Each structure stands twice: as structure tokens, then as C-alpha cells.
Amino acid sequence: MAMPAKFLTASLLLSLLLLHFSEADHDPVNSNLAASSPPKKIDCGSACKARCQLSSRPRLCKRACGSCCSRCSCVPPGTAGNYEACPCYASLTTHGGRRKCP
């Protein structure tokens, strides 16, 4: 009875070890690809102009949008909402905890 239990334990440990090494092989490749490709730049001026075209305070909107765009390199589509398209843009907040980006 001890022999099958030892075999089962050894095979389980071996499979976990192989799984660990196979995952370790994939991580450096992904991190090297992410590190080697620079973040794409967008034209923040035109993106924020489109985003703020219906704002009641366009100068304030463009200033806040430009600040957010320069940090995140993205602006959500449309004139309002659509924050899921740019999570970084949506996550920026003021000191009061309100959304910074229009």
C-alpha cells in the first residue's frame, strides 16, 4: 500500500514542478515584449478637442483632458462617458476624490 501512495505523491510533485517551470518560461517573454515596445503616442490636442466640443466650459475641459491624456496616452471616444475604453483615464482623481478627467 505504501508504494502506490509514494508513486502518487511523487507524480503529483513532478507535475507541479513542470507546471511551475512552464509558467516561468512564459513570463520573461511577455515582460520583454512589453518593455521593448514604447507606448503609442496620440495627438492629445485633437483628441481632447473632440472630447470637449460639447462642454459648457471648453477651456477647462481641454486643460483637464490634456493633463489626463499626457499621463495615460489615451482619451475615451465620444464627448462623455466611455471610461471603460481607457481605464487609466478613468482612474485619475482629484484630491477630493472626484474624477479629474472629463
Q: Give the integer Cα–Cα distance in Å for 51 and 54.
A: 8
Q: What average pLDDT score do residues 13-28 get? A: 63
Mean per-residue pLDDT of the chain: 81
Residue percentage of the chain with pLDDT more than 90: 58
**What is the pTM (predicted TM-score) of this model?**
0.59
Lowest mean pLDDT among 1-5, 55-59, 67-71: 1-5
Residue 24: the pLDDT is 57
- 3-state DSSP call for residue 8? helix
Distances (CA, A) of 37 to 30, 33, 65: 11, 6, 25
Q: How far is CA 17 from the centre of its chain?
A: 31
